[in-house]
Structure 1
């Protein structure tokens, strides 16, 4: 991607966050106290988030007087911690159930600004063609972050693979499975690693952005796909609480809801990513 910086989970684990973000500076990244003429630094997952932001930067931002800098991340933690600390001014990678859980567990204060798109979660396999073909004792990989694991289990329940206990909510885990007639085994992995496990498991539930990044088409390659109707998992632009009215954030939110961005999403992703506005 043009003018982006990729930071891997391994680098994060090595403690390189400060090094990777030090160039941002609090003035360019932070919200209400930042210079309104400084670049707005946005942390984003690569696909489709950074790609959408790069489109805005290349085609729309100058007309609105917005200086935009996009920083790519491959994990679901750093974008929020960097936004909380002010090292970036906003992020774009997550949905509300994930953010609510993250804020609660990490005492952070990140808030949504505007919802942009939905990435339908899907079940993929290299060995079976239909979900009903999963054999007894098959292994299915799941994303291990709280809300996406629950979301994956609900997808499997919706298609008759398992049945969850009554009342299982957005923090459901395999321990909340009430019925598992095929005795499916679950392999819990960091979300970015799940597509790479497809060669080693019978099937995997993959987040939409990581599916696209792995050259999988949710619309064409999935065995089953999450419905977009009444879906609470739309991905949004987010900031630290109090920075919602930063003029740069307001400009970016407007551009992300433009007809041009809607057409870009529809033309580029062909149903694998769906505009949510």
Structure 2
């Protein structure tokens, strides 16, 4: 399987908030423990029960609060309704901070989940035919990431100034005259039988029963130095970014037991990224230059 570099943003946005719930089914803190509320998408993901148990050993009652979108976790964090969140890439987060003006900051890294190209019709991008339809996420963060992946695969060429914020108008060469059908990210997996290829976010692919490491025609290279925009983070309010217990939660997320749970569930399609608080802060400063 060909593995490729990535070059653009990673994250999607919807608009609805789910009910809050605790990952361990107990939202009440033990009197001897500090309670920390962390907002996530997918409270049933395998890492959270492990992290909750590890946190208890550190005297922390970690309450996992479920959201169903990619907007409200940051708003809830800024409003003080939760203490941390863990659901987004550093680039998506940087864009949110720039647009909203909220005083938030990343405190550490969690995972990287590669974007992939999938197909029910072909096994190699060399099999693409003239005029084939390509399903592509339409959100401003994932669309440029997907186009960069196709450029890395040699399918299209993009303008020199495409960067990580370009769009379909920045395609300078499309030899196969591919027809790009932009749609909501969740729809890309559903239309797979109807298009030649679909570019599908890792989470959407897994929800659709796909295993990126096995089923993707191509996907982003986890060993590339260019993965920084797509690394997921834990975020807090900026004035609390050095909170020792918050940094402890980051450390627990990167624990070998958590990595084992993730590998078992996602079969090598999601990867723990271990960066220090200082390295994470440097990534944030770099990302902010794209969203001034």
Question: The TM-score by the shorter chain falls in which range?
Answer: 0.7 to 0.9
Q: Say whether the 8 Å CA contact 2:263–2:270 is kept in structure 1.
A: yes
Other structure's SS at 2:203 match? helix
- Out of 183, 193, 216, which is 2:187 matched to? 193
Which residue does 2:155 correspond to in 1? 161
Instruction: Indicate the residue corresponding to 1:76 in structure 2.
Output: 70
Question: Structure 1 pair 55/200, CA: closer, same or farther in 2 (3 Å)?
Answer: farther
Give the match for residue 234 of structure 2.
237
Gap change, CA 1:36 and 1:151, over 3 Å in 2: farther
Does the 8 Å CA contact 1:40/1:67 hold for their aligned counterparts? yes
Match of 1:130 among 115, 124, 128: 124
Question: Structure 1 residue 145: deviation in Å?
Answer: 2.6
Deviation at 1:191, TM superposition (A): 2.5
Give the structure 2 partner of residue 52 of structure 1.
47
Change (3 A) 1:217 1:171: same
Greater Cα shift, 157-166 or 88-97:
88-97
Asked if 1:177 corresponds to 2:171, the answer is yes
Question: Aligned with 2:86: secondary structure?
Answer: strand
Question: What is the CA distance between 1:103 and its match in structure 2?
Answer: 1.7
Q: RMSD of the alignment, in Å?
A: 2.6
User: Taking CA–CA contacts closer than 8 Å with sequence separation of 6 or more, which of the two structures ends up with the larger relative contact order?
Assistant: 2
Question: Whole-Å Cα distance in 2 between the matches of residues 51 and 131 of structure 1?
Answer: 33
**Is the Cα contact below 8 Å between 2:146 and 2:199 reproduced in 1?**
yes
Whole-Å Cα distance in 2 between the matches of residues 245 and 223 of structure 1?
42
Write out per-residue CA displacement over residues 111-147 of structure 1, whole angstroms, 9 at most, x where no aligned residue. 2111121101101112222212222222222222323
Using the TM superposition, name which of 198-207 and 214-223 deviates more.
Answer: 198-207
Q: Secondary structure at the match of 1:102?
A: helix
Cα distance, 1:105 vs. partner?
A: 2.1
Scaled by the length of structure 1, the TM-score of the pair is 0.81
Per the TM alignment, residue 91 of structure 1 is displaced from its structure 2 partner at its CA by: 1.2
Unmatched 5+ stretches in structure 2: 1-12, 275-292
